[in-house]
Chains A and B, each alone.
Chain A
Amino acid sequence: MDPKLLEILVCPLCKSPLIYRKSEQELICKADRLAYAIKDDIPVMLADEARAMTPEEVEQLR
C-alpha cells in the first residue's frame, strides 16, 4: 500500500483525513466512526461498505 496514496485519501462522507491502521488494514474516520477496509492493497472508499465502529474503539485511537 502506497503511503502517499493513504495520506491523500479522505472520508467520502465528511472529507476528514483518515487514520491508517496497518495491522487491521483499515482506514479510520473518527468523525463518522467508520472503518474503511483495505482489501488486497485496494482501499474500499464506500461508506455503505464501511464497518461501523463502537465509541470505545474510536476512543482507543485517541
Chain B
Amino acid sequence: MWSKTIPHRSYREPYLPRFFQDAARLLPLHGHERLLDIACGTGTVAFGFAPFVSSLTGVDMELPMLENARQHAETHNIDIHLIHSRMEDIPTETGPFDIMVMGKAHWYLDARMVIPKMDALLKEHGKILVCLATAEAPWRATFFQVLLKWAPDFPWGRLDINPGHFFEGSRFQISDKIVIQRPHMVTPDYLVKRAYGYPATPASKLGDQAEYFAADLKQALSPFMENGKLVEKLKTVGFIFSRK
C-alpha cells in the first residue's frame, strides 16, 4: 500500500530536523543505544536518529520501501540492518533495544500481536517514541474531504487511532511529549503531489483519473489561496512511552 507513495513522499509533511535533536536530548540518547524502527518504510525516522545512536535496525512488510531505505543508507553511508518481516515474527534475539521508534505504524499494526513483541525486545528502561509528521492549516479539512471523495474505500477510520489508543491496556504509558512547529508556504500543485504521496490517493492508483483529481483538489483549495500560495504550520509530534 505504501510503496505506491514512494515517488511523491518528499512532498508529504516532513519530520522537522530539530525534532530529532530535541527527542535525542529528552529521551536521552548518548550515542551507544541500539534503535529499532518498527514498520520503518523508507527509514526516514531511523535515519533522523542515526547521529545519536550506535546501531539502527528497520523492519517493514513492504520490500520496495526497504529497498528505498537501503539505497538512501548507501548514498549517505549510514549503517542499518533492514529486515523484510512482520514485526511479530522478529526473533527476540534481535534485541534488546534501548529505543524503538514508530512513524504511523500504530494505524496499521495489530496492537495485540505487536506490543508483546515490543515488550520482549525492549530493554527494562527502554523507551518507545511514536513520531508523527503532520500540519495545521485552515484548508486542511477541505483537502481531506477531496481525498475522501476520491478514495472512499480507503480505511480512513484507522487514522483515528492515536498512539494512546494503540498502547491502551499495555504496560506502556506516555511519559513525555515533544512538539516542533514551523510555518510553511505551499502551492496547490505542491499539495496535489502531496496527495499522490498519501496511500489513499497515489498517482498510480488514480491512473488516468489523476488529472481530474488534481483539478478537483485545486478548485477546492482556491478559496484559501493568497497570491497563489497557501500557508500551513508544519508540526512534528513525538510521544515517548515508558513502562508503567
Interface residues, chain A, with chain B CB atoms under 8 Å away: 2, 5, 8-10, 12, 15, 39-46
Interchain CB contact under 8 A, A12 and B81 = no
Q: Which residues of B contact A45 (CB under 8 A)?
A: 83-86, 89
Q: Which residues of B contact A43 (CB under 8 A)?
A: 83-85
Q: Which residues of A contact B61 (CB under 8 A)?
A: 46
A51 to chain B, nearest CB (A): 14
Q: Which residues of B contact A9 (CB under 8 A)?
A: 83, 91, 94
How many inter-chain contacts with C-beta < 8 Å in the A-B complex? 45
Give the size of the chain B interface in residues (CB under 8 angstroms): 15
B62 to chain A, nearest CB (A): 11
B105 close to chain A: CB less than 8 A = no
Interchain CB contact under 8 A, A42 and B91 = no
* 17 chain-A/chain-B pairs, Cβ below 8 angstroms: A2-B81, A5-B94, A8-B93, A8-B94, A9-B94, A10-B91, A12-B85, A12-B86, A15-B91, A39-B63, A40-B70, A42-B66, A42-B70, A42-B84, A43-B83, A44-B63, A45-B89
Interchain CB contact under 8 A, B93 and A10 = yes
Q: Which residues of A contact B63 (CB under 8 A)?
A: 39, 42, 44
For the A-B complex with A42-B67, A46-B85 known, give 4 more contacts whose Cβ atoms are closer than 8 Å. A9-B91, A41-B70, A45-B86, A45-B89
- B50-77 to A contact mask, C-beta < 8 Å, 1/0: 0000000000010100110010000000
Interchain CB contact under 8 A, B83 and A12 = no
Q: Which residues of A contact B85 (CB under 8 A)?
A: 12, 43-46
Q: Which residues of A contact B102 (CB under 8 A)?
A: none
In the complex, what residue of chain A is closest to B93 when comparing beta carbons?
Answer: A8
In the complex, what residue of chain A is closest to B91 when comparing beta carbons?
Answer: A10
Q: Which residues of A contact B86 (CB under 8 A)?
A: 12, 45-46
Per the bound structure, the CA–CA distance linking A15 and B83 in Å amounts to: 16
Q: B82, B91, B93: which contacts A41 (Cβ < 8 A)?
A: B82
In the complex, what residue of chain A is closest to B84 when comparing beta carbons?
Answer: A44
In the complex, what residue of chain B is closest to A38 when comparing beta carbons?
Answer: B84
Decide yes or no: A46 and B82 within 8 Å by CB, A10-B91, A10-B93, A41-B70 being known contacts: no
Decide yes or no: A12 and B89 within 8 Å by CB, A39-B63, A42-B66 being known contacts: yes
Q: Which residues of A contact B83 (CB under 8 A)?
A: 5, 9, 42-43, 45
Per the bound structure, the CA–CA distance linking A14 and B215 in Å amounts to: 52
B75 to chain A, nearest CB (A): 14
A57 to chain B, nearest CB (A): 22
Per the bound structure, the CA–CA distance linking A21 and B63 in Å amounts to: 21
